[in-house]
Amino acid sequence: MPTETKTTCPYCGVGCGVIAKIDDNGSVSVRGDPDHPANFGRLCSKGSALAETIDLDGRVLYPKIAGERADWDEALDLVAARFSQAIAEHGPDSVAFYVSGQCLTEDYYVANKLMKGFIGSANIDTNSRLCMASSVAGHRRAFGSDTVPGTYEDLDQADLIVLVGSNLAWCHPVLNQRIHAARQSRPNLKIVTIDPRRSVSADTADMHLMIRSDGDVALFNGLLAHLSTSPAFNRAYVAAHTTGFQGALAAAQGLTVLDVVQETGLTVGELLAFYRLFETSERVVTCYSQGVNQSSTGTDKVNAIINCHLATGRIGRPGMGPFSLTGQPNAMGGREVGGLANMLAAHMDIEDEAARDRVGRFWRAPAMAAKPGLKAVDMFEAVADGRIKALWIMATNPVVSMPDADRVRKAIRDCPFVVVSDIEENTDTAALAHVLLPATGWGEKDGTVTNSERRISRQRAFLPAPGEAMPDWWQMAEVARRMGFSEAFRYDRPAEIFAEHAALSGFENNGDRDFDIGAKADIGPDAFDAMPPFQWPHQRGTLEGTTRFFAEGGFYTPDRKARFIAVRPQRDDRTSIEAPFLLNTGRIRDQWHTMTRTGKSARLSSHLAEPFVEINPDDASDLGIAKAGLVTLDNAFGSVTLRALITERQPKGSVFAPMHWSGQNAANARVDALMAPRIDPISGQPALKNVGVRMGPAKMISHGFAVAAVRPERLDAAYWAAAKTENGWRVEFGFDTSIGDIEAWCRHTFSLPDRSDHLAYTDNQSRQQRHGFFEGDRLLLAFYVAPEPVSVSRDWAVGQLGLSLATPAARLAILASRPGAGQLDPGATVCSCFGIGVNQIAAAVTAGDCTVEAVGIRTNAGTNCGSCRTEIRGIIDAFHQQAAE
């Protein structure tokens, strides 16, 4: 009998519910959970492809010490001994944990308890520091607590949604779908995007403010000044529930309109249009994400936004409020247990002596940390300068994702003792581990996560743990026992940890702390198994219900009033004569983090298969960068080589590159290697969207493209980028030296059997050489090499793998590098759910389909997860524009 398990998507902070089904033959499929309040059955392309990412290829299946298989006891004894030794010799601050928003709340709780209550240091920080620490700091400054006031229902009910630094269509696609569904039923709903580049989200917005990088404080200060003299100003709310308004207003009024124009790069007309729209829309939600947080002024930006909502009293009521959208599936859970180095547990403040005492008594902790620990950037600095002697990295890949990533790699490599717990063996960070511990992954783990709207959902296991993989909480608890803390870490199952976490949240909580799920403190294993998604708070003795905060004040400051924060714009121009282009980074639609999981899906990899950089056409022309050429970006911190994507979406003088590619899937594309380790001084969050770089064409003497049945073992080229396909791999190459005998090079690089047939052809006009290697009727390798970037239809070539190519004509088509008569080249993938390419969509439009729905009926494109609907709309619009010209 097929079995079905309700669980939660492990990617972004939307926290969609999914149903995982195992059929009788063992195959797994995943669909949206229609009952989950975050998504009501919707999924995006990443969520839809979850079943394609759970194979055991590349999994860590047993503990390893120095690269050799070890048993659990041996590995755990060693970890406990080395941490204990470092603490004994150098003190508790000589050790550190670097954890992750991928950890479940129960994992996080145990790690935090061990470090802050028993080791006696607060050196535990999380990769969530890289995505939303500024929101935490902004919330705490304004509200006295890290509280997200609203819920996703507010997006359904708003009249105006402002997206600040948020490419919602690609980074939180199901919320984007939800907003567009609301707009269909209420066409008056307006959407404004505020973003320095024209992202896909801007395509469907009513207004796009192409703001200068880091111009947000000026923009919202101007809005505050505007609102203060408008009917939207809520004098009664401000008087009853806030303090500091005059100071914030004075700071805002310190800017003239011309100052705001200069700081934001927007016109007076654009500013006034936005300010009037905000003023006249009572129900307004301002969503913000990494474009706000990942900045050296991120916390000020958050407070500039919150100031406007406080001034209008538009907070905590249906359809209104500031809304921080978290990047990771459990960034919020990490915040709840105190996974940040400057927090304690259950949203308590580590700098509050009474809170430390309370938590210490609850845990019966022998060594409560007395001060905040090292935040991520400072932590790796301490690793680099030798203060940290033992480091445990869990479920994250800092060698790729940290700023100044090359220095971080060196720091980890030189650290005396490094433990990595992960599911994947082949990551840039796992390669540096002294001890590698096999963790359970999505589908095997059991516990809870909290999404952006404070909704706690179960992640349930539906697959057995492979090999000797064990949950992160178990690993931590075992090490804690070996360090002499048996009694406090005697957990047998996640339900016990969750119950303890819930009990701590309600412990001595008389309504003066926002995070309280004390109603779950007595939960047993069965109730935990069955626990449906719920929003916090849920205090003991109360009923669950949809909750919003602060409509009637009740903030978590000593006087229960919110604080307006006086913020002033600070120009942070990181460009220079040596590095004149401003590099912005972000995510793409179909990949997640460093691609350790989404990179396993051929479908997801087909959307954008190469690391790229978006460049304005004028800049490309000035620098002699050709369309689809290779480009080098460099600065004092590092260099990368990426494919040029020349587009009007990118303003002149700046470039955009995604942060996903690592050393596992590209030669030199870790864009965070270029990022300065520069942080917001309040939140400690790195400014990952603003660094100066130099740019120029990467000089290659030849370029190559290959489709291969197996991944090449030896990739020896100045540039390469490999992506999984349905039946093999596709690899792009750039060569800065001659590759000599091409047949020999191919056989060596792709480990081809000697017996494979070889066909070759040279096109004298393009000087392109084309090689095909076959075994029986199967293509093993097609390799195209030319002095210029190879012009072969990638999607067609990829489609040849796995086909029967028995006839001479079929083999010759490989050498001709184009489809035979009667075959359609699908073109670059637009809809990854159904594998529909741009040429297929263009054909539908040519045939008369002029709506996204009509294209969907003919081709299926956009009819599943809907993540590509904006791109389909763009193809239709481009066709009609061309026809009109």
Q: Give least dist CB 42 to ligand SF4, A.
A: 7
Cα distances from 793 to residues 705, 758, 815, 860, in angstroms, run: 10, 21, 12, 22
Query: Of the two residues 32 and 651, which places its CB atom closer to ligand SF4 in the complex?
Result: 32
Query: Of the two residues 44 and 469, which places its CB atom closer to ligand SF4 in the complex?
Result: 44
Element (H, E) at 602: helix 602-605
Does residue 15 interact with ligand SF4 by CB under 6 A? yes
Q: Cα-flanking dihedrals φ and ψ of residue 43, to 5°?
A: -140, 160
Q: Cα-flanking dihedrals φ and ψ of residue 784, to 5°?
A: -120, 130
Q: Give least dist CB 252 to ligand SF4, A.
A: 35
Query: Of the two residues 7 and 429, which places its CB atom closer to ligand SF4 in the complex?
Result: 7
Q: Give least dist CB 711 to ligand SF4, A.
A: 26
In the structure encoding, which two tokens stand for residue 27, read together?
């195959």
How many C-beta neighbours within 10 Å does residue 41 have? Answer: 15
The set of residues, in sequence order, having a beta carbon less than 8 Å from that of 543 and lying 6+ positions away, is none
β-pairing, 435-438 with 630-634?
unpaired
Is the C-alpha dihedral spanning 267, 268, 271, 272 positive or negative? negative
How many C-beta neighbours within 10 Å does residue 198 have? Answer: 18
Binding to ligand SF4 by CB under 6 A, coded x per residue (else -) over 647-686, reads ----------------------------------------
Distance CA 584, CA 691 (A): 7
Query: Of the two residues 43 and 340, which places its CB atom closer to ligand SF4 in the complex?
Result: 43
Query: Of the two residues 36 and 190, which places its CB atom closer to ligand SF4 in the complex?
Result: 36
Does residue 119 interact with ligand SF4 by CB under 6 A? no
E-only strand ranges, 661-756? 691-697, 702-708, 719-725, 728-735
How many C-beta neighbours within 10 Å does residue 381 have? Answer: 18
Query: Of the two residues 575 and 829, which places its CB atom closer to ligand SF4 in the complex?
Result: 829
Q: Give least dist CB 178 to ligand SF4, A.
A: 10
Can the peptide bond before residue 537 be classed as cis, meaning omega within 30 degrees of 0?
Answer: yes
Name the 3-class secondary structure at 436: strand
Does residue 173 interact with ligand SF4 by CB under 6 A? yes
Q: Give least dist CB 481 to ligand SF4, A.
A: 35
Of 327, 322, 409, 390, which Cα lies nearest the Cα of 141? 322
Q: Cα-flanking dihedrals φ and ψ of residue 488, to 5°?
A: -80, -10
Q: Give least dist CB 172 to ligand SF4, A.
A: 6
Query: Of the two residues 40 and 761, which places its CB atom closer to ligand SF4 in the complex?
Result: 40
Query: Of the two residues 228 and 870, which places its CB atom closer to ligand SF4 in the complex?
Result: 870
Of 808, 741, 811, 738, which Cα lies nearest the Cα of 781? 811
* Total number of residues that touch ligand SF4 (CB under 6 A): 14
Of 374, 373, 415, 424, which Cα lies nearest the Cα of 395? 424
Query: Of the two residues 172 and 643, which places its CB atom closer to ligand SF4 in the complex?
Result: 172
How many C-beta neighbours within 10 Å does residue 224 have? Answer: 27
Q: Give least dist CB 13 to ligand SF4, A.
A: 7
Q: Give least dist CB 594 to ligand SF4, A.
A: 15
Q: Give least dist CB 538 to ligand SF4, A.
A: 22
Of 363, 353, 336, which Cα lies nearest the Cα of 513? 336
Where in 209-228 is the site for ligand SF4 (CB under 6 A)? none
Query: Of the two residues 296 and 330, which places its CB atom closer to ligand SF4 in the complex?
Result: 330
Query: Of the two residues 11 and 417, which places its CB atom closer to ligand SF4 in the complex?
Result: 11
Q: Give least dist CB 520 to ligand SF4, A.
A: 23
Query: Of the two residues 448 and 702, which places its CB atom closer to ligand SF4 in the complex?
Result: 448
Query: Of the two residues 94 and 199, which places its CB atom closer to ligand SF4 in the complex?
Result: 199
Q: Give least dist CB 9 to ligand SF4, A.
A: 3
Does residue 14 interact with ligand SF4 by CB under 6 A? yes
Distance CA 38, CA 453 (A): 8
Element (H, E) at 504: helix 494-506
Of 393, 424, 425, 423, which Cα lies nearest the Cα of 408? 393
Where in 799-838 is the site for ligand SF4 (CB under 6 A)? none
Q: Give least dist CB 346 to ligand SF4, A.
A: 25
Distance CA 476, CA 472 (A): 6
Q: Alpha helix locations (H) across 205-267?
A: 216-228, 235-241, 245-253, 257-264
For residue 21, the number of C-alpha atoms closer than 13 Å in the C-beta half-sphere is 11
Q: Residue 466 has what DSSP assignment?
A: P
Q: Give least dist CB 455 to ligand SF4, A.
A: 12
In the structure encoding, which two tokens stand for residue 467, read together?
């090999």
Does residue 9 interact with ligand SF4 by CB under 6 A? yes
Query: Of the two residues 12 and 209, which places its CB atom closer to ligand SF4 in the complex?
Result: 12
Of 503, 222, 167, 254, which Cα lies nearest the Cα of 363? 503
Does residue 538 interact with ligand SF4 by CB under 6 A? no
β-pairing, 562-563 with 612-615?
unpaired
Query: Of the two residues 38 and 780, which places its CB atom closer to ligand SF4 in the complex?
Result: 38
Q: Give least dist CB 867 to ligand SF4, A.
A: 8
Binding part of the chain for ligand SF4, among 65-73, 171-179, 341-349, 431-439 by CB under 6 A, reads 171-179
Query: Of the two residues 172 and 389, which places its CB atom closer to ligand SF4 in the complex?
Result: 172
Where in 730-789 is the site for ligand SF4 (CB under 6 A)? none
Binding part of the chain for ligand SF4, among 4-12, 464-472, 594-602, 680-688 by CB under 6 A, reads 4-12
Binding part of the chain for ligand SF4, among 172-180, 252-260, 757-765, 809-817 by CB under 6 A, reads 172-180
Does residue 456 interact with ligand SF4 by CB under 6 A? no
Of 575, 562, 458, 468, which Cα lies nearest the Cα of 520? 458
Distance CA 810, CA 803 (A): 10
Distance CA 874, CA 880 (A): 10
What Rg value do the Cα atoms of the chain yield, rounded? 27
Distance CA 246, CA 310 (A): 13
Of 205, 200, 51, 35, which Cα lies nearest the Cα of 867? 200
Binding part of the chain for ligand SF4, among 53-61, 143-151, 166-174, 609-617 by CB under 6 A, reads 166-174
Query: Of the two residues 47 and 138, which places its CB atom closer to ligand SF4 in the complex?
Result: 47
Q: Give least dist CB 7 to ligand SF4, A.
A: 11
Q: Give least dist CB 32 to ligand SF4, A.
A: 7
Binding part of the chain for ligand SF4, among 6-14, 145-153, 194-202, 629-637 by CB under 6 A, reads 6-14
Distance CA 10, CA 397 (A): 16
Query: Of the two residues 296 and 459, which places its CB atom closer to ligand SF4 in the complex?
Result: 459
Binding to ligand SF4 by CB under 6 A, coded x per residue (else -) over 506-525, reads --------------------
Distance CA 576, CA 604 (A): 37
β-strand partners of 337: none
Q: Residue 339 has what DSSP assignment?
A: -
Question: Site for ligand SF4 (CB under 6 A): which residue of 136, 142, 162, 174?
Answer: 174
Which residue has its beta carbon closest to ligand SF4?
Answer: 47
Q: Give least dist CB 190 to ligand SF4, A.
A: 23
Does residue 16 interact with ligand SF4 by CB under 6 A? yes
- Contact at 8 Å (CB) between 506 and 521? yes
Q: Give least dist CB 26 to ligand SF4, A.
A: 24
Where in 25-54 is the site for ligand SF4 (CB under 6 A)? 39, 43-44, 46-47
Contacts to ligand SF4 by CB under 6 A: 9, 11-12, 14-16, 39, 43-44, 46-47, 172-174
